[in-house]
Amino acid sequence: MGNTPGVSSSGNRIGPTAHYTGYVWARNGLSHPDLATREGRLLFDSLQPVMLGSRAIGGATLEAYLLARHRAIDALLERAIDAGEVGQVIEVAAGLSPRGWRFTRRYGARLVYVEADLPEMAEHKRAALERMGSLSERHRVREVDALREDQGPGSLAAVAGELDSDEGLAIVTEGLLGYLPTDAVEGIWRRFAHTLAGFAAGRYISDLHLAGAATPQVRAFRVALSAFVRGRVYLHFSDAGEAEKALLAAGFATAKVRPAVHVIGRGEGRGSRLANILEASIT
């Protein structure tokens, strides 16, 4: 996808998906007004006739899909924090996600949350969080290129180096993997596993597209999603088992991939069945 948050490209503008998702979260009470943009509202309004048509024939809407994956990732992260396994989070390609704002408000001194993205998005997010009164040593914004393999400035390793290795760390990605080819995804997973291995406990949580789940309705939804993001949406693995094997090969000790409905129940209808969520750990 052109201008995917968190992924280096020839341009560094804030892409349409960041604006759209930011507005969806805000309009559903999950975000702060400063994280919603006028561009996001215009995009949402322009797609409403298509989404209403899909809903009328029993299909999923992009909004329901986004809410399902967001809430499922939230639920898994909450469980890890509440269990005392995680005290630090790096959200890679965070975009306009409100998760850092909500989680630092909820957990206070128990949590350090780092939002990582490319320079223009990081600058935008930092300014918004400062206006919201959320920016602090416990809620940080850092510049990171998710595809960078070295350990210099702007790398995941550099950001992780600022954190406490005696505390558990979770890495979160949302809406990133589908815009990358499989070899890039596997490279990211290897870097994530290597980074997490340096902490007392390590957890990785993300959404993931599966080729084997592509029923005719799902394929139609993917086509619409690809058109919206102005680029290809990749389907990396045939089923959950193949994805789990790839995560284990990348260096994780455990891995589980399941529909969001298995995490959050049926609250988002078809959206919770279309979204697949992965959870992997180092220990």
pLDDT tens per residue, range 230-242: 556 677 898 999 9
Average pLDDT along the chain: 86
**This prediction's pTM:** 0.88
* Rounded alpha-carbon distances, angstroms, from residue 214 to 38, 150, 235: 33, 35, 9
Q: What is the tens place of the pLDDT at every residue in 51-76?
A: 665 554 455 678 888 899 999 999 99
Share of the chain above pLDDT 90, in %: 63
Check residue 1 and give its pLDDT. 33
Task: Look at residues 76, 97, 100 and name the one whose alpha carbon lies nearest to residue 88.
Answer: 100
Sheet holding 88-92, edge to edge: 139-143, 112-117, 88-92, 169-173, 202-208, 276-281, 254-259
pLDDT of residue 42: 86
**Which pLDDT does position 178 carry in this prediction?**
85
Quote the pLDDT of residue 18. 86
Given a cut of 70, whether residue 215 has pLDDT beyond it is no
What is the C-alpha to C-alpha distance for residues 88 and 85, in angstroms, rounded to an integer? 9
Domains of the chain and CATH, by start: 16-281 (3.40.50.150)
pLDDT tens track for 9-36: 444 456 778 888 899 999 999 999 999 9
If you write DSSP's letter for every residue of the chain in order, what string do you get? -TT-TTS--S--PPPHHHHHHHHHHHHTTSS-GGG--HHHHHHHHHHHHHHHHHHHTT---HHHHHHHHHHHHHHHHHHHHHTTS-SEEEEET-TT--HHHHHHHHHGGG-EEEEEE-HHHHHHHHHHHHHHT--BTTEEEEE--TT--SSSTTSHHHHHTTS-TTS-EEEEE-S-GGGS-HHHHHHHHHHHHHHHTTSSSEEEEEEE-BGGG--HHHHHHHHHHHHHHTS-----BSSHHHHHHHHHHTT-SEEEEEETHHHH-STTTTHHHH-EEEEEE--
Confidence of residue 98 (pLDDT cuts 50, 70, 90): very high
Instruction: Check: CB of residue 281 under 8 Å from CB of residue 83.
Output: no
